[in-house]
Amino acid sequence: MVRKYVLNGRSYETAQTVAAAVFLLPTIVTMIFLFVLPVIQVITMSFTNWNLATGVRNYIGLKNFEYLFTDKTFGKAIVNTFTYSAFKLSLDLVLSLFIAVLLDSYIPLKRMLRTIYFAPVVVPIVASSLIWIWFYDPGIGPFNQILTFFGLPKLQWLYHENTALLSIGLFSVWKGLGYNIVLFLAGLQNIPDSYMEAAYIDGANSKQAFFRVKLPLLSPIASFVIMMGIINSFKVFTEINVMTPGGGPLNSTMLLVVYVYQQAFTNGRMGRGSAAALILFAIVFILTVLQKNISRKTVHYE
Amino acid sequence: MKQKFIRILGIGIILTMMLGLCAACVPRETVTTTTSLPQTVVAPTTQGTTEKKEVLAPGEKVKISVWYAVSGASGEAFKELVEKFASENNQIEIELSYSGSYADTATKVSAALTSGTEPNVALMSAGPLFTGARENYFIEEKINEPDFDRDDFFESGWDYSKYKGKVCALPYGISTPILYYNRDILEKAGIDINNPPETWEDLYRLAKTAQEKGNINNVNEFWGFEVRDVPWLFKTMLNQNENPVVNVDSNFKVTPAFAEESAVEVATWWKKMIDEKVMPAAQHANAEKTFLAGNCAFIVSSSNRISRWVTEDGVKVGAFPMPYFKKKSVALGGNVLVMFNKNEKEDYASWELLKYLVDAKNQTEFALKTGYLPIRRSGLELDVAKKALSENPMYKIAFDQMEYSWSYWHFEQMGTMDMILTSTIEKIEKNVLSPKEALEEAANELAREIEADS
Amino acid sequence: MKRKLKRYNIPAFIFLAAGSALMLFPFVWMVLSAFKTPADVYAYPPKWIPSSFKFDNFNEVFNKIPFWRYYANSIFTSVCQTFLQIFISVTAAYALAKLKFPGSGKVFAFIQSSMFIPAVVTMIPLFVVVSSLKLVDTYAGIILPQISGAFTTILIYSFFVSVPNELLDAAKIDGCGYYSMLSRIMLPNATTAISTAMLFAFLSHWRSYTWPLIVTNKTELRTLPIGLKYLVQETSSEYQLMMAASLMAIIPILIVYIFTEKQFVRSLTLTGLKA
């Protein structure tokens, strides 16, 4: 005899609920310590003027938020973050989809090529950033040497406000491309051959077959890639910390996370940093909810 | 499927085993003096031995932790001295760790202070904030004790270690900005290195000549002058032009002084260097690489490059005394020794270590190995110092500058001020704002930051 | 039925090969530069091939930093983090995918929402917690705060969902409890998904930088990314040493990756990743 109970009009098995609770316990405990409590603390800290260097910590109401909304650098950080995300996300999406489609066709050395495209993903970001700093060096870096070779004007790369964020973006695309390629490739290989054959039978050429059959079937993965892309591009920190510490020329690589870090740790202003962190959290949250709603309407599930 | 899973597991196990092997064969970095040295080793200071009996019982050991934010030759030299101290004081055990750059160390110390895990001693920059602002003036008391020769130290060194007028750190790896030149470039341009520039105007002319005639690499991007640390040089120049950087009233209220005319003059000279294309606009993060590649004639950088660049192959580096505006002055930079109080025994050990480190002989040795500067006048009289002077003329320039060294007022927002100044100079260099506008904006911004904290 | 003849798609291959050359370029540069002399590094115009191959650079790295120690720390912490993270992810994913209990939707949303928060945001509060537990400068202090795995939970969840309920029902009739169902039915059917999740988890821990930076003070506890960063600071502008160290840092992980790559891609294919 299985024991049951009823809650809100639905019936549940007691033993099953107990088992679920046991299985969820490790996750709940870690979530409480690593997510809930810290977030609550961030919220309380955002109403204080806690200064790490001097140890002062008093309640100051909404002053931190007032400061942020009038701070030019913070505004710039928001604009930069959106610019960076848009640039990286669109380039990443187009390139990775394109390369995945090519990799899905019948080509020699397929596995080797796939491995090469994924290789940058496994390298510690610190290590690859160090290589790229050298690439971007205006004097002794190979990028400018190549530009000169083709008779193009030299660029200042990381050292000019017009190119610094772009340089970071290019690096991020290189570093993260393989990840998305593999995701798309997985999606492509999941599409049964029969679907494409059916399309050909219906008289579609390969272009039409791609856009009418393959692409819609890839949309759940694209949606996943976009969501992770948004989340990750709002988190990007290591490469900026290594390549353009301090926010780059005229704060052109000052992204929100960098701003939070700089306020909280470089300046020791935990209160202000926490307030900025909350705003960052809110933006990411809103964006992902928006993205989910949009994709619910447009994504094509099999 | 299962096989694949097992393969991954297998790799995991192999990695774990590798780990065991590594852990077994890697030497520990910690300096411990669980020592085989006989008890008869004499402590370095005589007054130390008598005191020692009071605080530490015979055979009793105390362990202190030391963090340091200097790397390369400086890190090595510091480590060596601490290890030597530990081997001479077998009751004191020292755990020594490199804590990253100045910024990283400041972050780590702040974080540690929130939870009481801070070290006993830290060699770090901008140290006074972490003690003075927390009402810890232990050092001020100690240096006024009769057995400590406070007056032997350069006064600017004490100023550099003050918060609200009281000393709360010990000056240690002190440096000043130095004007370095590339000997090959000057030679090619026909500039007489025995005739150094006096004022910044002189330097402008020399840099211009060097740029026009001294392009040794035949490159398009060849410069006359560069600077590594922008706010440092700018503050130096402000004082040279009789601007105090910030004004402080009797209640220690700080107001920025760099919107004044004397500051605008400095910024205007700076702008000229950019407009005349003698100095590249806003590439200062890259300045040292440009200089070491032989693509720039002059650079202002820290005196601690003296030791580093002597060994650098390929570049022949020399130095001139700092040019000036109205009066000679160089702003001190570098690191200080900060001590965090824990308990009587540990504090005793920490102070013993600090005394040992700032001992004239030890500190001068450290200075000579690293290009930091002797902080005590008696250090300059030592034979080692005289020998170094005769061997490397760059030391003479650095040592001589100590006589007119100066430290600006340290206050809570000084880190923020440096960041504001950096971006202000950047805006001037990139023509975003005129020198006057940019400095006014900077002064307002700093005033606002000070206001926000009060 | 019209069956297409299998012929190599040569234009695609040429494009991909060119692209892969671009992807590989930084690695090539790194390998070459690891052998350069300081003079080569500052040579103008830049020299691609070192004038003589200087193997000493590698020795110098060992002299400057306890490289193997950093390596061992990285492997140890990443492996521990991975196992712990996968353990809590698997149990949670099983409960969410196959057990019926009140509020399961809310728990899922709660886990998902933790993905949105950048690590920098929670770092200081976490640090305060960790240090009040006296875990600063311990392996536990590095490992434990990094084991929450929303991403891996969702990844495994999306695979668990597709395990047919009939299998579970059959097991139930055979007298299987909820606990042994996980080990007897779910795990054997989801090895690929779990190993993929492991690889993802391992990679992110292997690369993690900010947290170990803040929580380690002792040299002997540092992980590889921190060690690399400190090497840069210690040697300031000695690019050749940075490259030698980076090269040594990535070769083993690249080898591991090359051996597991095929499996990794296939498991992603099977998981289907319906987010």
If you write DSSP's letter for every residue of B296-361 in order, what string do you get? EEEEEEETTHHHHHHH-SS--EEEEPPPBSSS--EE-EEEEEEE----HHHHHHHHHHHHHHHSHH
Return the number of CB contacts < 8 Å for A and C: 282
ipTM score for this prediction:
0.81
Q: Is A189 on the interface with C (CB under 8 A)?
A: yes
Which pLDDT does position C190 carry in this prediction?
80
Q: Which residues of chain B does C83 touch, with a Cβ-Cβ cutoff of 8 Å?
A: 12
Q: Letter for the amino acid at B55?
A: V
**If DSSP codes are grouped into helix, strand and coil, which group holds residue B398?**
helix
The mean pLDDT value of chain C amounts to: 84
Which pLDDT does position A4 carry in this prediction?
83
Query: Which residue, among B29, B74, B215, would best test binding to C if mutated, counting the most C CBs under 10 Å from its CB?
Result: B29
Phi/psi at C176 (nearest 5 deg)? -75, 135
Q: In chain C, whose CA is at the least distance from the CA of A40?
A: C125
- Residue C197: band (very low, low, confident or very high) from pLDDT cuts 50, 70, 90: confident
Which pLDDT does position B139 carry in this prediction?
93
| Closest-CA residue to B55 (of B340, B343, B348) | B348
Q: Is A159 on the interface with C (CB under 8 A)?
A: no
The three-point CA angle B305-B309-B312 to 5° equals: 150
Which pLDDT does position B345 carry in this prediction?
93
Which pLDDT does position C268 carry in this prediction?
63
C12-68 tens-digit pLDDT? 899 999 999 999 999 998 899 899 888 788 776 778 888 888 888 899 888 888 899
Euclidean distance between CA atoms A235 and A251, whole angstroms = 17
Which pLDDT does position C271 carry in this prediction?
55
- Beta-carbon separation of A16 and C99 below 8 A: yes
Q: Where in chain B is the domain with CATH 3.40.190.10?
A: 52-175+333-406, 177-331+412-453
Euclidean distance between CA atoms B365 and B85, whole angstroms = 14
Q: What is the DSSP letter of B66?
A: E
Whole-structure pTM value: 0.84
CA-CA distances (angstroms) from residue A267 to A41, A52, B284, B420?
19, 8, 21, 12
How much of chain C, in percent, has pLDDT values that exceed 90?
Answer: 21
Which pLDDT does position A163 carry in this prediction?
92
Instruction: Give B67→chain C minimum CA distance, Å.
Output: 8
Which pLDDT does position C237 carry in this prediction?
62
To which CATH superfamily is domain B177-331+412-453 assigned?
Periplasmic binding protein-like II (3.40.190.10)
Neighbours of B82 (CB within 10 A): 20
Euclidean distance between CA atoms C90 and C154, whole angstroms = 10
Does the pLDDT of residue C251 top 70, yes or no?
yes
User: Which ranges constitute the DSSP H helices of C4-118?
Assistant: 10-33, 38-41, 56-64, 67-98, 104-113
- Which residues, 6 or more positions from B78, have their beta carbon under 8 angstroms from its beta carbon? B68, B70, B123, B173, B366
CA-CA distances (angstroms) from residue C92 to B78, C40, C148, C275?
51, 55, 11, 17
Q: Which residues of chain C does B289 touch, with a Cβ-Cβ cutoff of 8 Å?
A: 42, 237
- Beta-carbon separation of A260 and C120 below 8 A: yes
Return the CA Rg of chain B. Answer: 25
- Beta-carbon separation of A102 and C182 below 8 A: no
CA-CA distances (angstroms) from residue B33 to B85, B90, B352?
10, 6, 16
Quick one: how far is CA A50 from the chain centroid?
A: 30
Query: Which carries the bigger pLDDT value, residue C136 or residue B243?
Result: B243
Q: What is the largest CA-CA distance in chain B?
A: 80
To which CATH superfamily is domain C58-271 assigned?
MetI-like (1.10.3720.10)
Facing A270 at nearest CB: one of C33, C91, C124: C124
Tokens of B284: 């200062």
- Beta-carbon separation of A113 and C20 below 8 A: yes
Domains of chain A: 4-45 (no CATH), 63-298 (1.10.3720.10)
The 3-class secondary structure across chain A, one letter per residue, is CCCEEEECCEEEEHHHHHHHHHHHHHHHHHHHHHHHHHHHHHHHHCCECCECCCCCCCECCCHHHHHHHHCHHHHHHHHHHHHHHHHHHHHHHHHHHHHHHHHHCCCCCHHHHHHHHHHHHHCCHHHHHHHHHHHHCCCCCHHHHHHHHCCCCCCCHHHCCCCHHHHHHHHHHHHHHHHHHHHHHHHHHHCCHHHHHHHHHCCCCHHHHHHHHHHHHHHHHHHHHHHHHHHHHCCCCHHHHHHCHHHCHHHCCCCHHHHHHHHHHHCCEHHHHHHHHHHHHHHHHHHHHHHHHHHHHHCCCC
- Which residues, 6 or more positions from C44, have their beta carbon under 8 angstroms from its beta carbon? A139, A140, B217, B219, B293, B294, B295
Q: Which residues of chain A does C275 touch, with a Cβ-Cβ cutoff of 8 Å?
A: 220, 223-224, 227
| Closest-CA residue to B188 (of B276, B314, B294) | B294
Euclidean distance between CA atoms B133 and B362, whole angstroms = 29
Neighbours of C230 (CB within 10 A): 23
Quick one: how far is CA C254 from the chain centroid?
A: 12
Which pLDDT does position B314 carry in this prediction?
59
Which pLDDT does position B1 carry in this prediction?
44
Looking at 3.40.190.10, 2.40.50.140, 3.40.50.300, 1.10.10.60, the CATH number of the domain B52-175+333-406 comes to 3.40.190.10
Which pLDDT does position C54 carry in this prediction?
81
Tokens of A283: 């933006």
- Which residues, 6 or more positions from A145, have their beta carbon under 8 angstroms from its beta carbon? C45, C46
Query: Which carries the bigger pLDDT value, residue A284 or residue B269?
Result: B269
Facing B312 at nearest CB: one of C38, C69, C131: C38
- Residue C267: band (very low, low, confident or very high) from pLDDT cuts 50, 70, 90: low
Range picked from A182-191, B55-64, B170-179, C236-245 for highest mean pLDDT: B170-179
Phi/psi at A154 (nearest 5 deg)? -70, 155
> How many Cα atoms are found within 13 Å in the side-chain-facing hemisphere of A150?
8
Which pLDDT does position B23 carry in this prediction?
41
Q: What is the mean pLDDT of residues A204-230?
A: 82
Q: What is the DSSP letter of B199?
A: B
Cis peptide before C45 (omega within 30 of 0): yes
Question: Residue ranges per domain, chain C?
Answer: 7-54, 58-271
Q: Is A205 on the interface with C (CB under 8 A)?
A: no
Query: Which carries the bigger pLDDT value, residue C87 or residue C132?
Result: C87
Q: Which residues of chain A does B415 touch, with a Cβ-Cβ cutoff of 8 Å?
A: 53, 266-268
Mean pLDDT by 10 residues, chain B (454 residues): 48 45 41 37 43 72 93 86 94 90 86 86 87 90 92 93 93 93 93 94 95 89 93 96 94 93 96 95 85 91 82 75 95 94 94 95 90 89 88 87 91 89 92 95 93 82
Does the pLDDT of residue A277 top 60, yes or no?
yes
| β-strand partners of C110 | none
- Beta-carbon separation of C69 and B22 below 8 A: yes
Which pLDDT does position B19 carry in this prediction?
43
User: Which ranges constitute the DSSP H helices of B154-304?
Assistant: 155-160, 183-188, 200-213, 230-240, 261-275, 287-292
